Amino acid sequence: MFGIEWLRHGALVEKETSASILEADAIASARRRATEVAGRHPERRPDSFRLTDATGKVVGVFPVHGRGDDVH
């Protein structure tokens, strides 16, 4: 399992959990969901997401379509 923290300019917008076992699958899934998350937060569209493992360790921070304003 992985934690996904959706960010806008480094500030938390939303948190969710991925049941993916593999890091690459969790990243790919989050990228596919970026449009849905942006739709829930039209005034604070995420521009990146932080992936954490089951222990809370940060795996990485990944951009969403360049900039949050580009997510439709």
Those residues whose C-beta lies under 8 Å from the C-beta of residue 71, and which sit 6 or more positions away, are 34, 35, 38, 45, 46, 47, 64, 65
What is residue 55's DSSP assignment? T
Average pLDDT per 10 consecutive residues for the chain, totaling 72 residues: 96 95 95 94 95 95 67 36
Beta partners for 67? none
Question: What pLDDT score does 41 carry?
Answer: 94
Q: Which domain holds residue 32?
A: 2-70
What is the count of structural domains for the chain?
A: 1
- Here the tokens at position 26 are 């969790």
Q: So what's the pLDDT on residue 34?
A: 94
| pTM for this entry | 0.85
pLDDT for 71: 37
